[in-house]
Amino acid sequence: MSHPPIVLADASAAYRGRTVLAGIDLTIRPGERVALLGRSGAGKSTLIGLLHAQAAGDIALVPQAAALVRPLSVFHNVYMGRLDRRSTLHNLRTLIRPARADVEAVRGVLASVDLAEQLWARAGELSGGQQQRVSLARALHNGRPILLGDEPVSALDRRQGAAVLARMAERHETLILALHDVSLALDVADRIVVLDAGRIVLDAASGGLDAAALARFYEPLP
């Protein structure tokens, strides 16, 4: 399923009276792989929020924190990715006695992030990296065309992160990812958008960039 472009035109955002983003002009078209880069505090998470507000019905969101229901099983946390596409009665039944088809669908998604063996474990008992993979599996199970992630692989090592992002690219038409790993961003994205002090200071194809070219955006502020 395709989706319309996401368009921000001269967008801004403020928090407690302080401007966080200003003059944001950004269009993201179907099929793009976009990495959002910049120092901590540059406004990436706020931009993620603006993009989500523009196209929530087409987006599977991976927030910066895993946002799991810790007492529930891994199965139930991943199943929640499709709660709005099932009837209330079906969802209530699933809480007590999941249907075999739902269990196998979730098991398959968990296998794609190497967590199938944790299907019935309590989410709160997993390690930080495992919890992040559950959050990613929930977004994959969601199945909407746009995957919007705020540091979605920050708790994984580079090999695991690259593998998970590759699976995201297979399952979602469009990726928009705030990442802290510049090399990983260059590998997974075809477009790099850099924020600095609440403004877009670079928007370019990743093919013409390298880590050295982006290093200046991470130099300590004077």
* pLDDT digits 0-9 by tens, 12-66: 999 888 999 999 999 999 999 999 999 988 999 999 999 999 999 999 999 887 7
Average pLDDT for consecutive 10-residue bins of the chain (222 residues)?
A: 90 91 96 95 94 94 86 96 89 92 95 94 93 92 93 88 89 94 94 96 94 87 65
The CA dihedral of 24, 144, 190, 25, to the nearest 10 degrees, is -10
- For residue 161, give the CATH number of its domain: 3.40.50.300
Structure confidence at residue 221 (pLDDT): 66
- The 10 Å CB-count burial string (b at 16+, else e) for 77-105 is bbbbbbeeeeeeeebeebeeebeeebeee
Quote the crossing angle between the two packed helices 100-112 and 128-142, to the nearest 10°.
120
Question: Going by C-beta distance under 8 Å and a sequence separation of 6 or more, which residues neighbour residue 19?
Answer: 12, 13, 198
Q: Tell me the residue type at 184.
A: L
Is position 36 within any domain?
yes
Tokens describing residue 12:
């801004």
Structure confidence at residue 67 (pLDDT): 84
Q: Domain range holding 125?
A: 6-218
Structure confidence at residue 155 (pLDDT): 84
Is position 1 within any domain?
no
Is position 56 within any domain?
yes
Q: How many CB atoms lie within 10 A of CB 73?
A: 18
Number of structural domains, the chain? 1
Structure confidence at residue 222 (pLDDT): 64
